[in-house]
Chain A
């Protein structure tokens, strides 16, 4: 059958199960947009390519599917770069389709030409510059395969315009993946599993430290089974929130720089650390020499390169986290009892609970807003966050229960991530309440996406914890730079209520702590447009506890 390149491309996307894409049109991607015009693939028009790629990531994280975004060449493609780097750091499967100038123009600095494959080399799992139309079906197949298998990540497919315009006789058929240099990880070292089981049986003060890898592997059930069988306390990273139910008595909360005191103390006293789908990031470990000093380490991860990268591991197990945990669980009997270890932890929990100071004269404490969101949603919402104080308070005080329901920029720390990610999550899960916990700085980095949310009638709720500061940087300036608030005071702000209304959304301003609940309830009643709630919070509230950068985990400020 005679088909244009762009039509073949869309056909291949549908073969991969794609029904929704996020994008923004432009000159060199015109043929693809022309084909989309008569396609039943749903295209969500962002207002900026960065919005499109973050939305695709939010969609991927909420749904477990590969997120797809489309941009034109040059500036369209370079506007994706932050989102691609974000997905790479957080191991989220994305396929980014970028327009490119015609093959005869490549390398001549043509209008809107950028070497996106060169630019994204260190921030993609793989990328392709399509050189001929006949390659399109294989390239698309491989791109999705690479994006979603092993440790997931973003793949860029660069599509020269003439190839998308060209017509060939196309017969759809089965394509066999034949990648000599890429094998999907199967199985695990059974001997290592047995050693791990023995080590778990012998441990007196074990802790599970789990991360995004558990969510990517859909292994929350296996993880919970291990913890409950052996009564092992669980702490998670920011990326791991939701991999273990926060209302379980074994839950320690998040560890690391803004972790709970009891999680960090537990790491410090532990004799066995079971690290699952994590990469020992510096925000988690603090000073490496003082991290889990008494513990043997079992490290389970799909990516062999993560093992031994930052810490020495006693039992490395490379493999799919779900498979490996199931194998370990199978070899372990359930134990009963409440040991000295649990007693110690409960004492810490009692002595150092998560808490925050009262505010003066009815002003809103930002933590209170997050607690209220948790209470009103019962922990059943999808929470996205921006980056900074808002993100840490969300992680500390929203006690999420389910995987794929806490969506935050972990590795890259991208301000402006949360709102577009919330749009993607809402499209993936239209029946869930989706709330972006935002700061007044971050939200302004992708505020234009109000247009997208309004156009598609998406009732995404943005809760701005508005302290008129770039709060996390201000906090560091206060603690480590003598209170010199260099360019972090952003008192000059738009009227967020009017801004929401200007886009066709709903705007609510809350200045009094007594009105927080009513405002959230009002927002959750809105079913057909975005809502901004502008919470005027205590300006100089800090995120505590805090491990100063480079310090040992036990060396926490605040929360004592």
Chain B
């Protein structure tokens, strides 16, 4: 079992996301993460899906998704050289005694402090999934109040 990142190009129409997720749920596959947004062409959206499964399962997901009229193209970019990014917002407990330490950690990860409350900070960071995992782990000893991750977006490097 392996994580696969599928880049799914779809018509930018109402209901398309529901079609895609219905196929995946109905066939019994599990979505680890899903992001969706418009591309450079406003009539086309890109869904980046992370699905766990061995190769035959991924092949079935791909074939079943291709049967949707609104799905234009699917690329499994797991093995491709690609740039992958995820964004995280973390609200972390931070009284004055630990703020300096937190700022240092955030700097190491090249993140940013985007909000300061009386006893908490909101940290923003982007990076590939392992970096986001790492910053989450680094901040957890201070006490994470709330955390939200966007899920992965990805793009193949070079001319493709």
Interfacial residues, chain A to chain B (CB-CB below 8 A): 117-118, 121-122, 125-126, 129, 146, 179-182, 303-305, 308-309
Q: How far is the CA of A109 from the CA of B5 in the complex (A)?
A: 38
Q: Given contacts A146-B69, A303-B67, A305-B60, list 11 more A-B pairs with CB under 8 A.
A: A121-B19, A122-B22, A122-B23, A126-B69, A179-B69, A180-B72, A181-B10, A181-B11, A181-B68, A304-B66, A308-B59
Do residues B69 and A304 form an inter-chain contact, with CB atoms below 8 A? no
Indicate whether A125 sits within 8 Å of B63 (C-beta atoms), given known contacts A118-B18, A181-B10. no
16 chain-A/chain-B pairs, Cβ below 8 angstroms: A121-B18, A122-B23, A122-B26, A125-B69, A126-B68, A129-B15, A180-B11, A181-B68, A181-B69, A181-B72, A303-B67, A305-B60, A305-B63, A305-B64, A308-B59, A308-B60
- Is B117 interfacial (CB-CB < 8 Å)? no
Q: How far is the CA of A146 from the CA of B69 in the complex (A)?
A: 8
Contacts of B66 in A (CB 8 A): 304-305
Contacts of B22 in A (CB 8 A): 121-122
The 7 residue pairs across chains A and B that have the minimum distance between CB atoms: A305-B63, A126-B69, A181-B72, A182-B69, A180-B72, A121-B22, A122-B26
Q: How far is the CA of A304 from the CA of B67 in the complex (A)?
A: 9
Q: What residue in chain B is nearest A123 (Cβ atoms)?
A: B26
> CB within 8 A of A181: which of B63, B64, B71?
B71
A145–chain B nearest beta-carbon distance, Å: 10
Counting chain B CB atoms within 10 Å of each CB, the highest count among A118, A303, A305 belongs to A305
Q: How far is the CA of A361 from the CA of B59 in the complex (A)?
A: 59
- Is B158 interfacial (CB-CB < 8 Å)? no
B158–chain A nearest beta-carbon distance, Å: 24
Do residues A308 and B69 form an inter-chain contact, with CB atoms below 8 A? no
Q: How far is the CA of A129 from the CA of B19 in the complex (A)?
A: 14
- Is B70 interfacial (CB-CB < 8 Å)? yes
Q: How far is the CA of A117 from the CA of B26 in the complex (A)?
A: 16
Contacts of B10 in A (CB 8 A): 181
Q: How far is the CA of A121 from the CA of B23 in the complex (A)?
A: 9
Contacts of A182 in B (CB 8 A): 69
Q: How far is the CA of A169 from the CA of B135 in the complex (A)?
A: 61
- Binary contact readout B65-80 vs A (1 if CB under 8 angstroms, 0 otherwise): 0111111100000000
Q: How far is the CA of A538 from the CA of B87 in the complex (A)?
A: 70
Interface residues of B in 48-91 (CB under 8 A from A): 56, 59-60, 63-64, 66-72
B20–chain A nearest beta-carbon distance, Å: 10
Contacts of A180 in B (CB 8 A): 11, 72
Q: How far is the CA of A129 from the CA of B10 in the complex (A)?
A: 18
Q: What residue in chain B is nearest A306 (Cβ atoms)?
A: B63
Do residues B67 and A305 form an inter-chain contact, with CB atoms below 8 A? yes
A322–chain B nearest beta-carbon distance, Å: 21
Q: What residue in chain A is nearest B22 (Cβ atoms)?
A: A121
Q: How far is the CA of A432 from the CA of B69 in the complex (A)?
A: 37
Do residues A309 and B11 form an inter-chain contact, with CB atoms below 8 A? no
Indicate whether A117 sits within 8 Å of B15 (C-beta atoms), given known contacts A122-B22, A180-B72, A309-B60. yes
B91–chain A nearest beta-carbon distance, Å: 34
B71–chain A nearest beta-carbon distance, Å: 5
Q: How far is the CA of A54 from the CA of B72 in the complex (A)?
A: 32
Q: What residue in chain A is nearest B64 (Cβ atoms)?
A: A305
Q: How far is the CA of A186 from the CA of B126 in the complex (A)?
A: 45
Contacts of A308 in B (CB 8 A): 56, 59-60
B6–chain A nearest beta-carbon distance, Å: 15
B28–chain A nearest beta-carbon distance, Å: 12
Do residues A181 and B60 form an inter-chain contact, with CB atoms below 8 A? no
Q: What residue in chain A is nearest B63 (Cβ atoms)?
A: A305
Q: How far is the CA of A121 from the CA of B67 in the complex (A)?
A: 13
B43–chain A nearest beta-carbon distance, Å: 9
Q: What residue in chain A is nearest B19 (Cβ atoms)?
A: A121
Contacts of B72 in A (CB 8 A): 180-181
B57–chain A nearest beta-carbon distance, Å: 11
